[in-house]
Amino acid sequence: MKSRSFLLALLIIALASLVPVVFRGNDYVLNLFVVAGVYAIVVMGLGILLGFAGQLSLAQAAFFGIGAYTSAFLTTRVSWNFWEALPVAVLASALVALAVGYPSLRQLSGHYLALATIGFGIIAQLVLINWKAFSNGSDGITGIPAPAIGSYTFDSYGAYFYIVLAFVVLTAYITARLKATRVGRAMHAIRENEMAANAMGIDATKYKILAFVLAGAYAGLAGSLLAHSIKFISPDSYSFDQSVVFLVMLILGGSSSIGGAILGAVILTFLPEVLRPLKNSYIMVYGAAVIAMIIFMPQGLAGLFGVLKRRFARA
Amino acid sequence: MPERGLLELRGLEKRFGGVTAVTNLNMSVREGDIHALIGPNGSGKTTTLNVISGIYRADGGSIAFQGTELSGMRPHAITASGVARTFQNIRLFAQLSALENVMIGRHPRTKTGFFGALVPGGATAREERDTRERAHELLAFVGLPDIAHAQARSLPYGDQRRVEIARALATEPRLLLLDEPAAGMNARETTDLIGLLRRIRDRGITLLLIEHDMNLVMTVSDRITVLNFGTHIAEGVPADVSRNPDVIAAYLGGAADVA
């Protein structure tokens, strides 16, 4: 069972690494794969928070933005390189998540926590718009450099995809390890019954804060990765709407499934592009499609696969 | 009560707004005993358990466990110090397997943190294997060797109570608090439960249980504390307690059946 999911993961990584070969020269599609990979990282992080620990955040776009802006600032104004800026971007998002999560998770849960994170998300976007010295305001930051190793620059979407893929694999590995061991179990216990979790010696507040910080760190990592791919960022990308999209991706995929989180991100990155010929009515069809998927697959795609697997096992 | 008990409640007070749930409660639980806490509905039994386990904060008095003051400690720290509990309305981790439920109980006795989790093999793998083995042992100990991978909420009621006991035992308590362990059990299950309670005591674990099943209480208890209106009205061995006129009055003759 264990080795089978390991083989499945290897197969998916092998297939994914063929993407730049198959779509060589098609920058439009390659860019979508980069974006999908980046979103998958955010959604896996949100999966730790919501799927494992049962706590809802509607501020993931803000942490995504903090990562993007930290990285952009450090590489365009302080002339650090990508590899130096990336860990600092992750750390910055994690620290902001700690500062937000520590007071709110001690006091709030459920809908109240969700409302607090909405408030934070909106404040963060306003800060990005108005703190011109750091963010250059609504004009955004341009000329964000591509990563390089030695004399090789990851300038093409095809090459950049491999960097993103490496980080998707790394974060998926971290998430899977957490899920399989004591920390993940503690988080699952909190999701299932917080009072019983406390009675099992689990410091629920501590693990909720840890989940919140990890979700923030994943989003920060993803933000930095996307900034160095599109090379231009502006505050409007880091809106409440974007936070909702991340949440929908997770719910669609199946909130405590790692594969589901990745699949949800990929599908909802490509779906709007597939629907683009519909022009103005696309958002209506997109919305209807999402609602239908959630009604017919309440456990997400991961739950659907689980049902199909059991049905085949019985037949 | 001259000797110092494993658990000593002195002048315990708990109020909810204007309602006094527990007042001036004194109680001593001796090490190695099966100690029952009985009393009519609303007499403060569950409140007392919730105050001991830290779910409620005491408004006054002291809770000494092995000489350590528990009042003011948070629930997870109380469990880590050696007091585990089950719940009157079962609180299993419903969507997880029975095995995972019990494995979670190992939390305060294991160490793997975020960074430890990232390294496969080594100490993490050893601890994981050990946690799994202990959980299997405990499920077998409570008489459920074959349901490890069943989802907790799919189990019959009596089995759920046993999983909850196994989960509490996994925290390696010295004192186990059981809130109505026989509730919803049929006669056969109750008989099995009595055997289980004795086997738990034989492992050196002291038990404090709330129970309405008087047959179980009189059969299994070494000592009984009777509560009424939030305070103790009697404490002693079953034979004495069941003859105590205050107790009989509190139960309106209910205890006379047992005597």
pLDDT per residue as tens digits for the range A193-251? 999 999 999 999 999 999 999 999 999 999 999 999 999 999 999 999 999 999 999 99
Q: Are A56 and A113 in contact (CB under 8 A)?
A: yes
Q: Is pLDDT of B169 > 90?
A: yes
User: Could B108 and A193 be called an inter-chain contact, meaning their C-beta atoms sit closer than 8 Å?
Assistant: no
Dump strand ranges (E) for A126-200: 148-149, 152-153
CA distance A2 to chain B (A): 13
In one letter, which amino acid is B9? Answer: L
- Confidence (pLDDT) at A307: 80
Contact residues, chain A, for B77 at CB < 8 Å:
203
Partner-chain contact B104 A184, CB within 8 Å = no
| Residue B44 pLDDT greater than 80, yes or no | yes
Q: Residue B232: in which H helix or E strand, if any? A: strand B231-236
CB pair distance less than 8 Å for B114 and A196: no
- Between the alpha carbon of residue A232 and those of residues A123, A126, A220, A236, B100, the distances in Å are 22, 18, 16, 12, 46
User: Rounded distance, CA B202 to CA B174, Å?
Assistant: 12
The model's pLDDT over A29-83, given as tens digits with 9 standing for 90+, comes to: 999 999 999 999 999 999 999 999 999 999 999 999 999 999 999 999 999 999 9
Of the candidates A196, A203, A210, which has its C-beta nearest B87's C-beta?
A196
pLDDT at A313: 74
Cβ contact A181–B124 (<8 Å): yes
pLDDT, tens only, B47-90 = 999 999 999 999 999 999 999 999 999 999 999 999 999 999 99
Given CB atoms, is A210 within the 8 Å cutoff of chain B?
Answer: yes
Per residue in A10-23, pLDDT tens? 999 999 999 999 99
Which of A98, A170, A181 to mutate to probe the B interface, most B CBs <10 Å?
Answer: A181
A14 contacts chain B (CB < 8 A) = no
What is the ipTM for the molecules in this complex? 0.92
Whether A199 sits inside 8 A of B79 (CB atoms) is yes
- Tell me the pLDDT tens digit for each residue of B113-161: 999 999 988 999 999 999 999 999 999 999 999 999 999 999 999 999 9
Residue B38's beta-bridge partner residues? Answer: B226
Q: State the pLDDT at residue B253.
A: 53
Rounded to whole angstroms, the Cα distance separating B217 from B231 reads 19
Residues in contact with B178: Cβ distance below 8 Å, sequence separation at least 6, in sequence order: B85, B86, B165, B197, B207, B208, B209, B210, B211
- Looking up tokens 């231009």 gives A232
Buried residues in B201-215 as b, exposed as e (16+ CB within 10 A): beeebbbbbbbebbe
The helix (H) or strand (E) run that includes residue A282 is helix A282-296
A8 near B CB under 8 A: no
Residue A2, pLDDT score: 64
Nearest by CB to A201, which of B108, B111, B131?
A: B108
Strand pairing category for B83-85 and A152-153: unpaired
pTM for this model (two decimals): 0.93
A81-A84-A85-A88 Cα dihedral, nearest 10 degrees:
-170
Is the Cβ pair B93, A188 closer than 8 Å?
Answer: yes
- Which range has the top average pLDDT, A292-296, B95-99, B237-241? B95-99
